[in-house]
Structure 1
Amino acid sequence: MQDTAQTRGYRRIATEEAWAPAELVQRYLKLLESGTHNDPGFANLWGFFGQSSSPRARDLLHRIQDMEQRRLADMDAAGIDMQLLMLTAPGVQMFDAATACDMAISANDQVAEVIRRHPTRFAGLCAFAPHAPEAAAREIERSVNRLGLKGALVNSHTQGEYLDDQKYDPIFAACEALDVPLYIHPNSPSPQMVQPFLSRCLDAAIYGFQAETGLHVLRLIVSGVFDRFPKLKVVLGHLGEGLPFWLYRIDFMHAGIVRSNRSEGVKPLLRKPSDYLRENFWYTTSGMAWEPSIRFVQQNMGHDRVMYAMDYPYQYVPEEVRAMDKLDLRPEQKHQFFEGNAAKLFRL
């Protein structure tokens, strides 16, 4: 029997799939060549993918910029019906605010045009410049209302700053008012965090990404962002950057810090940290095609909170799709996993 969405009963929607316009890649290369940045994590990540002659780096650089012919062929070969496109890390966040705003607008226009040409194969999230919060809110509104994009993407910290500072509240207010999700994708650890990772090349997806992004999310929760924006929807990749496995300890230690009045930066919240992680967050499997972990997150965060993702092109493994098809799930749960949750959350 031919493998189609009709025969299997669900579309396979991959919900964390990276892309990069040529202009962004060229700006990264110029930054690396000029040495005018102060971000060792960026230099290590894009120094490899942007400048290395290794087959992995060359292949990634080609795939991430090809928005149609090769990408669609790769999707067909893997059995992916639709990709949710997002601008690769660190996105526009490496640049000054004015430049980042302009680049975000350009990137969003470009991805919207690709989606217009292939509306059944692609959907997308908008980029924005967090370090210009009011302009970021306007760009999120434009991208959703005029371009038809399905939410917003931030590549975690912006030049060492996190979104728990209340000056960034316009970003959350825009997402909440539009009822669209904010996807918090990893970035390399910030300059003040990255040094112990570098000598063993632990700064990227092997560990640094999840350590940095998990830190960012806990900062948001502990700072009270979700008490100020109770309907805010956030998506995390890589099965939650490790946080679902730490729920008990996070709750226990947070309660102790609050009771002892240990820190000015930690005040009582309306709910336990684990409550926010269960009620305000959704999780994708990007890069984590491992049944024990997937089942753990489904069981502890909810089957309605977990969505399939591949992490293309960084982790293009076509055979994982068939392995995910074999997950021990009831038919309605498998539909949720591959299509239903993503279709509902992103309105696909």
Structure 2
Amino acid sequence: MSPTLIDLPHRPYRRIATEEAFCPPEMLEIYNKILAKGDVDVGFKHLMGFYMSSPSERAQHIMRCLVDLDDLRLQHMDEAGVDVQVIGLTSPGVQIMDKDTAVSFAPVANDILAAAMRRHPDRLVGMIAVAPQDPAAAAKEIQRGVNQLNMHSVVINSHTQGEYLSDTKFWPIFEAAEAMGTPIYLHPNAMPASMIQHFIEAGLDGAIYGFGVETGLHALRLITSGVFDRFPKLQIILGHMGEALPFWAYRLDYMHAATVKSKRYPSIQPTQKKPSDYLRENFHITNSGVAWGAALKFTQDFMGPDRVLYAMDYPYQYAPEEVGILEGLDMAPQVRQAFFQDNAERLFKIPSATPSV
């Protein structure tokens, strides 16, 4: 039997899940219009196009849960022993839309999420959705999200129609995020058309592998382009155990230095620090989708236990038994509390409270 709230041990901390998704029905209407066009982005078609049309039990579960910000979501949280969800607009969010639609809908999505936060103030925390298609508008929405909606983090679903945030035209977003103290959750997106075909052929384009490859690439582009030299206080969150980047850290450091020395690529220039330094100082990592003790321990050792957080990846990976697996790992009490509660409270500016049970 999967562990439920009553099966899990009593603890003096809350379990805060930090990469959980939602999708307003209004956004699905926009998606339907996009999918009805003849030139649909192949990654979008294989991602949301599948989930929105498939009769499979998994797809139906995901779509039912994505649109619910009330009873069903709270029920699932209670059954899994999750006290609080930190929620972001599901991938690809507004980033698949044309510029005008994206800029106009991002505030709508944020207002919907903010209303749910007001209905459930002790259970739901929101991340600010923005439209990178208009960096100036995105910066203003970050400011509005913090000042008016009580949201203190931003979600960006990786690339925007094949464009990456390493391009300096997007840097007003980083400037606003750094100024407002809002970390950016760099969440996976389907690969752009220029990358995806060989992954689709093998059935590896989604969460099984492709998401991590694409989002890890995006994070590395931020590091090598000098984003963190320009914005040293900027904080980025990566899910899925850091999209495997901590496990590559040694080779990243060596090969980055070797590539700079060889002057092989104009895009690879010297940076003030090693790639691994930026990972440790400008990134936070959640374990979303990876309830594996060996990987978690390595990541905590590499990043430091104050930069690794709990996440479930609801509803795409709703696995209540994983909470019990993580609770059963050998962690010092203070590390366990940091993992489940303290790091999230600090990073997302969540008021402290006692757990529900």
TM-score, normalisation: structure 2 = 0.95
> Is the contact made by 2:8 and 2:324 (CA closer than 8 Å) also made in structure 1?
no
Of 44, 54, 57, 1:55 maps to 57
Structure 2 equivalent of residue 339 of structure 1: 341
Of 131, 134, 141, 1:132 maps to 134
Structure 2 equivalent of residue 15 of structure 1: 18
Residue ranges of structure 2 left out of the alignment (5+ in a row) = 351-357
Structure 1 residue 34: Cα displacement: 2.4
- State the alpha-carbon separation in 2 of the partners of residues 26 and 288 from structure 1: 32
Residue ranges of structure 1 left out of the alignment (5+ in a row) = none
Structure 1 residue 33: Cα displacement: 2.4
- State the alpha-carbon separation in 2 of the partners of residues 276 and 322 from structure 1: 32
The letter for the 2-side match of 1:25 is L
Of 182, 197, 200, 2:199 maps to 197
Matched, 1:166 2:168: yes
The letter for the 2-side match of 1:9 is P
Structure 2 equivalent of residue 85 of structure 1: 87
> Is the contact made by 1:176 and 1:229 (CA closer than 8 Å) also made in structure 2?
yes
Of 31, 34, 40, 1:31 maps to 34
- State the alpha-carbon separation in 1 of the partners of residues 38 and 151 from structure 2: 34
- State the alpha-carbon separation in 2 of the partners of residues 224 and 56 from structure 1: 40
Task: Give runs of aligned pairs for residues 236-315 of structure 1, distance below 5 A.
Answer: 236-315=238-317
Structure 1 residue 26: Cα displacement: 2.0
Aligned-partner SS, 1:16? strand
Aligned-partner SS, 1:146? helix
TM-score, normalisation: structure 1 = 0.97
- State the alpha-carbon separation in 2 of the partners of residues 291 and 264 from structure 1: 40
The letter for the 2-side match of 1:24 is M
Aligned-partner SS, 1:101? helix
Q: Bigger relative contact order, structure 1 or 2, given CA contacts below 8 A and separation 6+?
A: 2
Percent identity over the alignment? 53
The letter for the 1-side match of 2:294 is P
Q: Alpha carbon RMSD of aligned pairs, Å?
A: 1.4
Structure 1 residue 321: Cα displacement: 0.7
- State the alpha-carbon separation in 1 of the partners of residues 32 and 340 from structure 2: 36
- State the alpha-carbon separation in 2 of the partners of residues 199 and 258 from structure 1: 35
- State the alpha-carbon separation in 1 of the partners of residues 278 and 8 from structure 2: 34
> Is the contact made by 2:152 and 2:181 (CA closer than 8 Å) also made in structure 1?
no
Structure 1 equivalent of residue 353 of structure 2: none
Task: Give runs of aligned pairs for residues 163-242 of structure 1, distance below 5 A.
Answer: 163-242=165-244
> Is the contact made by 1:5 and 1:11 (CA closer than 8 Å) also made in structure 2?
no
Aligned-partner SS, 1:53? coil
- State the alpha-carbon separation in 1 of the partners of residues 13 and 132 from structure 2: 36
- State the alpha-carbon separation in 1 of the partners of residues 333 and 139 from structure 2: 39
- Equivalent residue pairs, number: 346
